[in-house]
Copies of this chain bind each other. A is one copy, B any other.
């Protein structure tokens, strides 16, 4: 990875002096139009990573290889997307490593799709379901921008009909009523496979927790992740005045072997409950 210059076709992040981010595939003869002038791709290709180029208005831009985090923050979207704070944790909880086969539904704008595909490659694959063609089109566009289209298969399909793949390692649901699809989830997952979901409301958390509790799932975790960012001026370091307070609640579980009774799980949970202090009148 450690070449010094962008090469034609490289995805490149250009940062203007006032901190605006532009993501572009640089090609000989191309150009990027910004609020601070036009940047010639040939100048970017000639500059080293980390160097500065100037627009035709003589405004400077820094040339950077985009991190996955920067890509996720910068890509086009037509739906709310998950943030890197959630996606990083999902990668570790679902153990998305090279070789992993993963299902997700829905595709949304492809933010999670990109991250899953980037970390399952080489050797793995992402199967991404959505019912809305406009979501699939946006997600495909973003996956192609990252050059990950060989690692993703999109299905325009309602998951009420179940999933097509079997014995996948992990499955993530970002849908309105995830509890409706848990039988299909268990059919698709390998024994012990990783399940995850994101839901924005308390009501959905309760419905999903109840549904998981009635089925052979283990290791249920419900959590939320908060990212608090600070102003970086050394003389005035302080939390930003406002923050994105809530993307959603994350719920994870492990699929148990078929035929294992749900009671096993429940028994353990109720013991755990006993350890936590109860409040009463």
Residues of chain B contacted by A200 (CB below 8 angstroms): 236, 238, 279
Listed stretches A25-33, A38-46, A61-69, A149-157; interface member:
A61-69
The answer on a CB contact under 8 Å between B72 and A232 is: no
The answer on a CB contact under 8 Å between B238 and A52 is: no
Number of interface residues of A (CB under 8 A): 123
Main DSSP-derived SS at the A contact region: mixed
Shortest Cβ distance from residue A73 to the other chain B in the assembled complex, whole angstroms: 10
CA distance A193 to B2 in the complex (A): 9
The answer on a CB contact under 8 Å between A97 and B118 is: yes
Interface positions of A from 201 to 238, Cβ below 8 Å from B: 201-203, 205-206, 209-210, 213, 218-238
Residues of chain B contacted by A219 (CB below 8 angstroms): 15, 62, 64
A245 lies within 8 A of chain B by Cβ: yes
The answer on a CB contact under 8 Å between A245 and B223 is: no
A37 lies within 8 A of chain B by Cβ: no
A17 lies within 8 A of chain B by Cβ: yes
